[in-house]
Structure 1
Amino acid sequence: MLNNRALAIIAVLAVVAWIGNSSMYIVNETQRAIKLRFGEIVEKDIQPGLHFKWPLLNTVKTFDGRVMSLDASASRYLTKDKKAVIVDSYVKWKIINPQSYYEATSGDEQMAERLIAPRVDERLRNEFGRLELSDIVADRSVAAAQQKEKPEPEKQDSKALKEETMDKPTNDLDAAMRSELGVAILDIRVKRIDLPNEVSQAVYERMRSERQREAQRYRAEGRQESEEIKAKADQQSKALLADARETSETIRGQGDAKASTIYAGAYRQNEDFFRFYRSLEAYRDSFDSSSKNMMVLDPKSDFFKYFRSPTGESTAP
């Protein structure tokens, strides 16, 4: 009898524990959840934390609320000028409406990706259809130069396309997916753009020709600018030299005039000494040993008068 009572108590405690455990559930910070009653949604967006439900009556579905990535397969698109490009892209998406997400996909992440992928392909096809191949190739070249790497002939990083190029398809797809699937499309990015073999060579030959034409134009403009700078410099040099010569002649004339004034004053103070001093300077300059000049003079000429007499007076022969 005691054993039957103990077993009953244990059974009751087990049932109570099961009911308590089944009545509580936890939603993590990284999750979004909904509550169902016999398959009907009764609570559409349960916040993170500890919650309660009726055992057997209620079912809780949880979904990953973090940002997820969909790596789309490479697709072949035609540009506005009917050139083919092979584009490899990826999509960042996130659940924002658990009720709509569950109703559209039954909570299956793979089904959600199967619904998102063709819509991404459609938006990218439309976006590349409005671009010229030359615009795409030019953006690829700019990205390669910024990364200081040699661009490969057929492969390039997603930065090859300007960010604003993907803004329109991202916004369009986001608006559609919010209402249809309850998910937000956060970003669409191109990982790589490949040019088919039949297009690559022609494209890069054209790029090379365009760069050569630009280089020739820059060289011609540089030569023209160089000639203009040289002509301007020559003109300025001539003007500066003319001004300098004029200034030097003016200064020289002023110096000569001042020297003449000084000589005249000195001459008036002592004429004999002045003549004697000037004659000594003339002798020094004339008899300089380093000079190779030759003079033929009569020894009795006035030039040698101070050799004949200290006073410079003429003497009888």
Structure 2
Amino acid sequence: MNRIGFIASSILVVLALLSSMLFVVDQRQFGVVYALGQIKEVITEPGLHFKLPPPFQNVSYIDKRLLTLDSSDTESMLTAEKQRVVIDWYVRWRISDPSEFIRNVGLDENAGALQLNRVVRNAFQAEINRRTVGELISSKRDDLMNDVKRQVIQVVKGGRPWGMEIVDVRITRVDYVEAITESVYRRMEAERKRVANELRSTGAAEGEKIRADADRQREVTLANAYRDAQKTKGDGDAEAARIYAEAFGKDPQFAKFYRSLDAYKASFGKKGDFMVVDPSSSDFFSAFRGSAASTAPAAVPRRP
């Protein structure tokens, strides 16, 4: 039993020793092998690798992917106009040389992000102090980001390289500080109201002009129509008078009788109409007085 226990213990010790000598490097990481606290080797290829067991050698891992650093500082910055603004920005960066990064920056990505945040903020502060608010929100914004990127690259690749690569620097927001944002909004609102009132007054004036022109055209149209109607009516009355004169001229006695009938019809158009006159002395009823004679049957000549 003691022999079997010794063999089992030996196997466990060997397995533990082998496990401490083997390590796996992921494709997303660098493997850094330390020998007594000094960097012995940097492994960039993924796979299974060997090292001496602790405490002779140890291994740590650093991310080799493209990293993003977002701004977390809300402190305002002064522009060239002495206006306080707050900006949001981000930086895309990666570790390119783990040895230089560990020696000059820190042991992990958080240390690099902390140092990079300070450098980027100082670069933005220097560039914003040289520019106006209008330039920050105009096409010159790209020039600002390029200048900041150039300054950051000069720092990380200076006398003591940081072992990192700066891929991009971008501004995501530029805004006034909260103390003056409200006054800016009120000024913008007043300006918009002024423009709106000006547009409304211009529209009202145009509307009055259009209505006046429409009324004028209406009056002109009605006047022309009335003129044409009166002319047509006059022509019709003249033609009717001519026809009446031509027709009645052939028999004046009948024309007088027909006119009298029209006068009677117009005078007694309703049941309640009445007239007090002396029929024997008034010429108005002369047609009635002469009707008996005019309507008496004529003598019919005898045929031989």
TM-score, length-scaled by structure 2: 0.62
2:26 is aligned to 26
Question: Is the Cα contact below 8 Å between 2:80 and 2:130 reproduced in 1?
Answer: yes
Asked if 1:279 corresponds to 2:260, the answer is yes
Deviation at 1:244, TM superposition (A): 1.8
Q: Which runs of 5+ in 2 are unaligned?
A: 157-163, 297-304
Question: Is the Cα contact below 8 Å between 1:90 and 1:189 reproduced in 2?
Answer: yes
1:173 is aligned to 148
Q: Which runs of 5+ in 1 are unaligned?
A: 137-160
**Max Rg structure:** 2
1:99 is aligned to 97
How much is the aligned-residue C-alpha RMSD, in angstroms? 4.9
Asked if 1:187 corresponds to 2:170, the answer is yes
Distance 1:169 1:176 in 2: 11
Asked if 1:116 corresponds to 2:117, the answer is yes
Taking a change above 3 Å as real, the CA distance of residues 110 and 36 of structure 1, as seen in their structure-2 partners, is closer
Question: Is the Cα contact below 8 Å between 1:76 and 1:86 reproduced in 2?
Answer: yes
Residues 160-206 of structure 1, C-alpha deviations (whole Å, 9 max, x = no match)? x8586754433443455567342434632337522657x976x6887
Equivalent positions of 1:35-74 (< 5 A) are 35-38=31-34, 39=39, 42-44=42-44, 51-56=47-52, 59-63=59-63, 65=65, 68-74=68-74
Taking a change above 3 Å as real, the CA distance of residues 266 and 23 of structure 1, as seen in their structure-2 partners, is farther
Taking a change above 3 Å as real, the CA distance of residues 85 and 14 of structure 1, as seen in their structure-2 partners, is closer
Asked if 1:240 corresponds to 2:239, the answer is no
Secondary structure in 1 matching 2:176: strand
Taking a change above 3 Å as real, the CA distance of residues 36 and 303 of structure 1, as seen in their structure-2 partners, is same
TM-score, length-scaled by structure 1: 0.60
Residue identity opposite 1:194 in structure 2: V
Secondary structure in 2 matching 1:72: coil
Which segment drifts farther, 285-294 or 107-116? 285-294
1:151 is aligned to none
Equivalent positions of 1:129-148 (< 5 A) are 129-131=130-132
Q: Count residues in correspondence.
A: 275
Asked if 1:2 corresponds to 2:21, the answer is no
Question: Is the Cα contact below 8 Å between 1:67 and 1:94 reproduced in 2?
Answer: yes
Secondary structure in 2 matching 1:130: coil
Residues 245-287 of structure 1, C-alpha deviations (whole Å, 9 max, x = no match)? 2332243234435545665686589887766554333222223
Distance 1:127 1:172 in 2: 11
Identical pairs, percent = 25
Residue identity opposite 2:117 in structure 1: I
Asked if 1:305 corresponds to 2:304, the answer is no
